[in-house]
Chains A and B, each alone.
Chain A
């Protein structure tokens, strides 16, 4: 028995978590993964609690994953899709949240196109807040599920210590909250991270985060244990960042030929949804190295863990995630703001 207690009423960023917090969350996910494989896929831990999904931005897998995670723990789930509400965004967010909270909500899961939205929510409401992606800032549960997938595929489930592993995150780094959460989580657990992409999608400022930067994918492939292919986010790219999709694929697409240059047991990941044939070849996405569907099922376990942890933190625990301002993001983070 340890005296460790998860010290966070909210999960807003992986940046705010210690390595010990990360490992405790991942160990908890390990205990919860089996709930989804047994005859009755439900446990009563959150019976009588209400989880509200507030999605102000399109999402299929994340909102469904949170919904099912809450239901697997026997919580009641409210779903709110705020797409299209454009008037006075900040106030609308808080007003919406306070209205929903007044119905008696215990946890709010928030996806929003503005960085810092979940922090703003956490400051405005009394219930627990989980960030399900805020602008180009962070996507902490995606980061956790990627860590879990890497640990499981590479035999690190006992310790969740990723020391000695090299992970490449490839593609549209600039627009990716997944890249930020992955990078932060991987570094805290001891992995070496190489960010790979064209200069237009990988600003030099990322070097300040203490990772390796590369523009030549072929040169790094033989060194990596994990290769995480990011989606090219057409909807977030203001101007064309590369001359053509064909040229992007030629330099950064993960093809069978490129896979053959990697270590024999390399793990291929993608946060989805995929642009098949653009950043990843269909044969690679569906091949034996791919962990893409495992990522989805691990997402369920990780979100169950986070829901469980934020709701069972002992009362009086300092929140540990005081709604500070969003810190240190490289350029382009709030470029979507208009």
Chain B
């Protein structure tokens, strides 16, 4: 396992993400914007970004019911709550995840968002982009904090869920099947 970014590098990356969101929201009033994080690490990033950008509408999306591998999941999927307590209709939504790899999680998240309402536009921001070669669907991020196209499995650690902030690369054979990246 090696470290792609340690604690001193993760927060500045999130700050850059928040800066991008801050510049984005200049066009419309803050109440027209929402930040939605995909469980579980996307939620933590979303909270930090919303705080830095001064956005009050923060949501958490659980995409389990929208996964495309439920019929043959090798491990038990865990359903958690989706917490979006404001109407999405007409909003600009910044969707946030920790890692963009195949694009399947983002596809599931987009379908889930559409069932919750009709946002004006959905933007995608991720902490780590695994690059276009890892993609299995035509999905791209509007903002990526880090790009890591090489082999291995990227694991993002964030406080308070984890003891320290870090972006780690684990060898491929440590892959746990089940969770779509």
A residues with a Cβ closer than 8 A to B are: 1-2, 4-6, 27-28, 30-32, 34-35, 38-40, 42-45, 48, 73, 305, 308-309, 312-315
Contact status B73-A2, CB under 8 Å: no
Distance, CA A220 to CA B73, complexed state (A): 49
Contact status A308-B71, CB under 8 Å: no
- Asked if B12 CB lies within 8 Å of chain A CBs, one says no
Q: In the complex, what residue of chain A is closest to B67 when comparing beta carbons?
A: A45
Q: Which residues of A contact B66 (CB under 8 A)?
A: 43-45
Given A43-B115, A45-B70: A314 in contact with B78 (beta carbons within 8 A): no
Q: Given A31, A39, A315, which contacts B79 in the complex, CB threshold below 8 Å? A: A31
Q: Which residues of B contact A73 (CB under 8 A)?
A: 65
Contact status A40-B115, CB under 8 Å: yes
- Asked if B47 CB lies within 8 Å of chain A CBs, one says no
Distance, CA A44 to CA B107, complexed state (A): 13
Q: Which residues of A contact B75 (CB under 8 A)?
A: 5, 314
13 A-B contacts (beta carbon < 8 Å):
A1-B78, A5-B75, A5-B76, A6-B76, A31-B81, A31-B82, A38-B117, A39-B116, A40-B114, A43-B65, A45-B65, A73-B65, A312-B76
Given A44-B65, A44-B111: A34 in contact with B82 (beta carbons within 8 A): yes
Interface size class of B (residues with CB under 8 A): 20 to 34
- Asked if B51 CB lies within 8 Å of chain A CBs, one says no
Shortest C-beta distance, B148 to chain A (Å), equals 22
Shortest C-beta distance, B165 to chain A (Å), equals 18
Q: Given A4, A31, A35, A48, which contacts B76 in the complex, CB threshold below 8 Å? A: A4
Q: Which residues of B contact A34 (CB under 8 A)?
A: 81-82
Contact status B65-A30, CB under 8 Å: no
Query: 0/1 per residue, B38-68, Cβ < 8 Å to A?
Result: 0010000000000000000000001011100
Contact status A42-B82, CB under 8 Å: no
Q: Which residues of A contact B111 (CB under 8 A)?
A: 44
Shortest C-beta distance, A105 to chain B (Å), equals 15
Q: Given A42, A309, A313, A314, which contacts B115 in the complex, CB threshold below 8 Å? A: A42
Contact status A31-B80, CB under 8 Å: yes
Contact status B65-A35, CB under 8 Å: yes
Shortest C-beta distance, A188 to chain B (Å), equals 20
Q: In the complex, what residue of chain B is closest to A38 when comparing beta carbons?
A: B116
Distance, CA A34 to CA B116, complexed state (A): 10
Contact status B78-A305, CB under 8 Å: no
Contact status B76-A314, CB under 8 Å: yes
- Asked if B74 CB lies within 8 Å of chain A CBs, one says yes
Within 8 A of A (CB), among B73-93: 73-82
Shortest C-beta distance, A112 to chain B (Å), equals 29
Contact status A39-B82, CB under 8 Å: no
Distance, CA A40 to CA B75, complexed state (A): 28
Q: In the complex, what residue of chain A is closest to B83 when comparing beta carbons?
A: A34
Distance, CA A55 to CA B82, complexed state (A): 33
Shortest C-beta distance, B105 to chain A (Å), equals 15
Q: Which residues of A contact B79 (CB under 8 A)?
A: 27-28, 31-32, 305, 308
Q: In the complex, what residue of chain A is closest to B115 when comparing beta carbons?
A: A40
Distance, CA A308 to CA B66, complexed state (A): 12
Shortest C-beta distance, B72 to chain A (Å), equals 8
Distance, CA A312 to CA B178, complexed state (A): 12
Q: Which residues of B contact A4 (CB under 8 A)?
A: 76, 78
Distance, CA A28 to CA B77, complexed state (A): 10
Q: Which residues of A contact B71 (CB under 8 A)?
A: 48
Shortest C-beta distance, B25 to chain A (Å), equals 24
Shortest C-beta distance, B81 to chain A (Å), equals 5
